[in-house]
Structure 1
């Protein structure tokens, strides 16, 4: 049985999980638009399409809304980033790494350049003094885990002789820095236009 049913007024009654997801999505949208201090639960309820008491029935207060909304988006972006890195897992031991690295770069540029990722970075750092643990959580989910996964894949390419001997953690940092630097200085460029130069520079340093 589905979790949504039609009401007599032409609206759809959402189940608890769908309502909670809508509330968190609405909360993140409002926090991204207003900032933490200026956001209010009434606007979040309107954004989510629910009554204000419904918001409080799922999350107790604005701080809880902020924390869970930010954590949810951080988890989502982290998962997308890890999925992008997984392109390197299927690389054949004797294959040129340029093509899979370019695919990884393009996908990471798409993920990290998306509006929700940019909003997450702004929110996490803007409120870092008030919520240092949350800023650390975002960093761990969207940066440190991704670096670790990428380092693991780069270590395998090094063992296979596809890359020069290197510290894989440092190589992963350099690869990711090329991506974040491109997004910082060329925010209007497309992922396709940025991926090739990113890999070119990386392989000048680490290619065989």
Structure 2
């Protein structure tokens, strides 16, 4: 075969599905790395270089997938809200429909809900959200819609079912859901110093059970 007739084999094309999956996996890796860096350093001190090093990717890769630091921060907070919401939805699947022991069942559910709120990353991201809300217009509302509002709606529906079955006396399930969440978590910020110190299991359960007891005093049928 003459040089003019020499042929080369073209590189194998990457299937579109594999390419899309690889892009999604890389995006997840970048978001996971950014979550760690923002939680550890805070927004002001964090840099795209740090996040690239944590993720093990080139800096331009981050810009290609998620843009600059500001867009990356928004994406991290919204992704964290979605992850938290999924964990809460899983916890709520154990909510009693026809409880044999209403207090014990509510305490068990409340403990699962609180477990979703007190992880180290969850506390760090919550502190970041409060600290940076003024610098990111609309971010707080976006996180609420993605996480807290969805949780409140799901919890309200389950409380309404308990009320319809006669276990509770509730005029406004959405407000009752807000009260339930506030009561079971009311002592945790002070007990953990906003997540900066550990809390033992027995202290946590006492605080959560006290919140459930207060809720039941308000919403248990008087008859």
TM-score (norm: length of structure 1): 0.84
Count how many residue pairs are aligned between Structure 1 and Structure 2: 197
Instruction: State the distance in 1 between where 2:184 and 2:29 align.
Output: 31
> Which of 129, 132, 135 is matched with 2:134 structurally?
129
1:85 corresponds to 2:98: no
Instruction: State the distance in 1 between where 2:41 and 2:170 align.
Output: 47
Contact 2:170–2:176 under 8 Å retained in 1: no
Instruction: State the distance in 2 between where 1:159 and 1:53 align.
Output: 56
Instruction: State the distance in 2 between where 1:206 and 1:74 align.
Output: 29
Q: Residues 43 and 158 of structure 1: is their aligned pair in 2 closer, same or farther, counting only changes over 3 Å? A: same
Contact 1:20–1:58 under 8 Å retained in 2: yes
Shift of 1:189: 4.0
1:185 corresponds to 2:179: no
1:37 corresponds to 2:44: yes
> Which of 3, 25, 32 is matched with 2:32 structurally?
25
Shift of 1:55: 1.7
Contact 1:106–1:195 under 8 Å retained in 2: yes
1:194 corresponds to 2:207: yes
Q: Where has structure 1 moved over 3 Å in runs of 4 or more?
A: 191-195
**Structure 2: gaps spanning 5 or more residues:** 1-17, 193-198
After TM superposition, the structure 1 = structure 2 runs for residues 161-172 of structure 1, keeping only pairs within 5 Å, are: 161-172=166-177
Q: Residues 165 and 16 of structure 1: is their aligned pair in 2 closer, same or farther, counting only changes over 3 Å? A: closer
Instruction: State the distance in 2 between where 1:60 and 1:99 align.
Output: 48
Shift of 1:195: 3.2
Q: What residue in structure 1 maps to residue 146 of structure 2?
A: 141
Shift of 1:150: 0.9
Q: What residue in structure 2 maps to residue 10 of structure 1?
A: none
1:15 corresponds to 2:22: yes
Q: Deviations over 1:65-94 (max 9, x none)?
A: 111111111100111112222322x522x6
1:69 corresponds to 2:72: no
Query: In structure 1, the residue corresponding to 2:135 is in which secondary structure?
Result: coil
Q: What residue in structure 1 maps to residue 6 of structure 2?
A: none
Instruction: State the distance in 1 between where 2:102 and 2:37 align.
Output: 42
Shift of 1:99: 3.0
With 167-176 and 137-146 compared, the bigger mean Cα shift is at 137-146
Contact 1:40–1:62 under 8 Å retained in 2: yes
Instruction: State the distance in 2 between where 1:138 and 1:120 align.
Output: 11
Instruction: State the distance in 1 between where 2:145 and 2:104 align.
Output: 28
Q: What residue in structure 1 maps to residue 104 of structure 2?
A: 99
Shift of 1:154: 0.7
Contact 2:157–2:173 under 8 Å retained in 1: yes
